[in-house]
Amino acid sequence: MSWFRREKKPLPSLPDKHVRTEGLWVKCESCRNIIWKKDLEENDNVCPRCEHHFRIGSAKRLEMLLDGGPWEELDANLQSTDPLQFSDIKSYRDRLAKAQQSTGLKDALVSVRGKIHGQPVILCVMEYGFIGGSLGAVVGEKITRACERALRERLPLIVVSASGGARMMEGAVSLMQMGKIAAALAQLDEAGLPYISILTDPTTGGVTASYAMLGDVNIAEPGALIGFAGPRVIEQTIRQKLPEGFQRSEFLLEHGMLDAIVHRKQMKDYLARTLSFFSTQTAGKAEQQAGAVAGGAAPAPAGA
């Protein structure tokens, strides 16, 4: 009676009737509002209800700040050589490989030559998604080269910071980048070329202790965490409760550590006006020096 012996065939798969919504909605960290992700992206990743500025990557930042024309990436092939052969629960080389795969970058900073409202600039943007935007040998070298290039080409320099600080996997090699960049920025200052620093959430550690706070103009986004040590570390050290809003950009502006807080939507226009102001000042100084030379007087120092 072979007709009783039925072959076990898998049942045909039924169409999936569930609506997949994973990744389509985002909760605001500030007001806890649920936001349709597409609406958030169209609003420059700013909460439409409370204006909380979400963190964004370097590619989005470049798209927002630079003119639509093509820009030229600089020093794109620089990558760390793991100078200390560092390893903890995972080797530094593995961490680098994973970060490079997830971000598509060689390291935590993108340096480009582009234009903002037609004004040529050298722009460096940090990528927080690459090992927390940490400052290592490659980041330090790329910013130093950007300073040197701005000096040669007589262009303003803009650096957008988003970092957890110095990269511990590179030890003293990482820390020495702080002084190296500061020395390069000093040369820009002596030449009378503007350096604009933009601080976003978060900007902490060795980055804050060096180039992020050395701008001729220091600008921050609203609500950005900016400081050296984190608030919890400070509270545990001094055993005191910190003031409300401590280390946020509004607190720093109130205490004279920032020049301005600028909404993300207004940042490009603000930078264009600032660059125009600096170019006018530079042209005025050049005319004064030319007049002094024509009159037989010694020219004033470029950084005066």
The enclosing domain of 169 has a CATH number of 3.90.226.10
- pLDDT for the residue 160: 98
Q: Measured in whole angstroms, how far is the alpha carbon of residue 64 from the centre of its chain?
A: 13
Residue 116 lies in a domain: yes
- In this prediction, the residues of the chain whose per-residue pLDDT falls under 50 are 298-304
Give the contacts of 246 (CB within 8 A, at least 6 positions apart): 231
Last residue of a domain, one of 35, 55, 75: 55
CA atoms within 13 A on the CB side of 297: 9
Do residues 44 and 190 both lie within one domain? no
Residue 290 lies in a domain: no
Calculate Rg over the CA atoms of the chain: 25
Do residues 112 and 31 both lie within one domain? no
Give the contacts of 243 (CB within 8 A, at least 6 positions apart): 251
Residue 117 lies in a domain: yes
Residue 172 lies in a domain: yes
Last residue of a domain, one of 55, 75, 101: 55
Tell me the percentage of the chain whose pLDDT exceeds 70: 85
Do residues 46 and 126 both lie within one domain? no
Rounded alpha-carbon distances, angstroms, from residue 27 to 35, 36, 52, 279: 6, 9, 11, 42
CB 175 within 8 A of CB 206: yes
- pLDDT for the residue 70: 83
- pLDDT for the residue 289: 59
Residue 152 lies in a domain: yes
**Quick one: which H or E segment has residue 27?**
strand 25-27
Residue 286 lies in a domain: no
Do residues 40 and 121 both lie within one domain? no
Residue 258 lies in a domain: yes
Give the contacts of 100 (CB within 8 A, at least 6 positions apart): 79, 106, 130
pTM: 0.87
> In 34-51, which positions are buried (b, 16+ CB within 10 angstroms) versus exposed (e)?
ebeeeebeeebbbbeeeb
Longest dimension (CA), the chain: 120
- pLDDT for the residue 10: 64
Domain that holds residue 36: 27-55
Do residues 61 and 47 both lie within one domain? no
Do residues 75 and 46 both lie within one domain? no
CB 136 within 8 A of CB 108: yes
Do residues 98 and 214 both lie within one domain? yes
Domain total of the chain: 2
- pLDDT for the residue 73: 97
Do residues 179 and 43 both lie within one domain? no
Residue 186 lies in a domain: yes
Do residues 47 and 66 both lie within one domain? no
Do residues 42 and 86 both lie within one domain? no
How far is it, in rounded angstroms, from Cα 79 to Cα 263? 33
- pLDDT for the residue 281: 76
- pLDDT for the residue 231: 86
Do residues 34 and 172 both lie within one domain? no
CB 182 within 8 A of CB 210: yes
Do residues 65 and 141 both lie within one domain? yes
70 — phi, psi (to 5°)?
Answer: -65, 145
